[in-house]
């Protein structure tokens, strides 16, 4: 039993320590295996939430047509949002990005209306769900990156995502198999972030 527990801990900690965001430009266009996508979504659904509100909601853009429509929609939102700061290159990148990966997932926080909880608790719960997804993706050899565009609260984006009035857009997850090794990075020492009493 102890050996099993230690082996389990080793795999969990390995995923935590080696998980890294993979730029969408470094992902293959190959379709994700259905069982991999299902496992990643189920990992999200196991996240903790106060009073079991489970506020995470996902819009999954998997078909080529859906991802193309998403790209068109995001580009239009960017154009409205940018105004005089509009850049043609940014517009084109926004338009194409969802079409270059096999799956894009929009993350939405839908607070429990009857739970009477602070909004930040619901947002934190969605963050936990996304972290679960990222760990599961890494364990399955799937690359992922969480992107939050500057126009995250734009009315046209809310319309594009068909969001309820009390919902909050939390970003887009781009998923795909790596076309190159996962990147490496270092964290600043834990001693800079802890106080022992």
Residue set of the binding site for FMN: 19-21, 50, 146-148
**In which order are the strands placed within the sheet that holds 168-176?**
56-61, 103-109, 168-176, 143-147
**Alpha carbon distance 96, 128 (integer Å):** 29
Q: Please tell me the predicted confidence (pLDDT) of residue 32.
A: 98
Predicted TM-score (pTM) of this structure = 0.94
Residue set of the binding site: 19-21, 50, 146-148
* Residue 30: burial class (beta carbons within 10 Å; 0-12, 13-18, 19+): exposed
What percentage of the chain reaches a pLDDT higher than 70? 98
Q: Which of 8-22, 36-50, 89-103, 169-183 has the lowest mean pLDDT?
A: 8-22
- The mean pLDDT value for 121-132 works out to 98
By DSSP bridging, strand 103-109 and strand 143-147 are unpaired
The answer to whether 32 and 175 are in contact (CB under 8 A) is yes
Task: Give 2-58 pLDDT, tens digit per residue.
Answer: 567 888 898 889 889 989 999 999 999 999 999 999 999 999 999 999 999 999 999
Instruction: Report the chain's terminal Cα–Cα distance, integer Å.
Output: 34
Structure tokens at 171: 């970003």
Superfamily of domain 21-62+102-180: NADH Oxidase (3.40.109.10)
Angle between helices 2-18 and 119-139 (to 10 degrees): 100
Q: Is 83 helix (H, G, I), strand (E, B) or coil?
A: helix
């Amino acid at each position: 039993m102890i050996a099993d527990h230690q082996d389990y801990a080793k795999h969990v900690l390995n995923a935590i320590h080696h998980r890294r965001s993979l730029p969408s430009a470094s992902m293959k266009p190959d379709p994700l295996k259905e069982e991999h996508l299902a496992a990643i979504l189920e990992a999200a659904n196991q996240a903790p939430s106060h009073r079991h509100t489970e506020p995470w909601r996902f819009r999954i853009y998997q078909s080529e047509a859906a991802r193309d429509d998403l790209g068109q929609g995001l580009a239009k939102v960017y154009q409205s949002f940018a105004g005089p700061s509009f850049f043609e290159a940014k517009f084109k990148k926004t338009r194409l990005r969802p079409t270059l990966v096999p799956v894009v997932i929009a993350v939405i926080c839908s607070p429990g209306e009857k739970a009477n909880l602070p909004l930040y608790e619901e947002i934190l719960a969605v963050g936990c769900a996304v972290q679960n997804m990222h760990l599961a993706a890494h364990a399955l050899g799937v690359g992922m990156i969480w992107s939050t565009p500057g126009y995250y609260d734009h009315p046209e984006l809310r319309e594009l995502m068909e969001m309820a009035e009390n919902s909050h857009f939390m970003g887009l997850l781009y998923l795909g198999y790596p076309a190159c090794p996962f990147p490496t990075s270092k964290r600043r020492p834990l001693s800079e972030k802890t106080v022992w009493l």
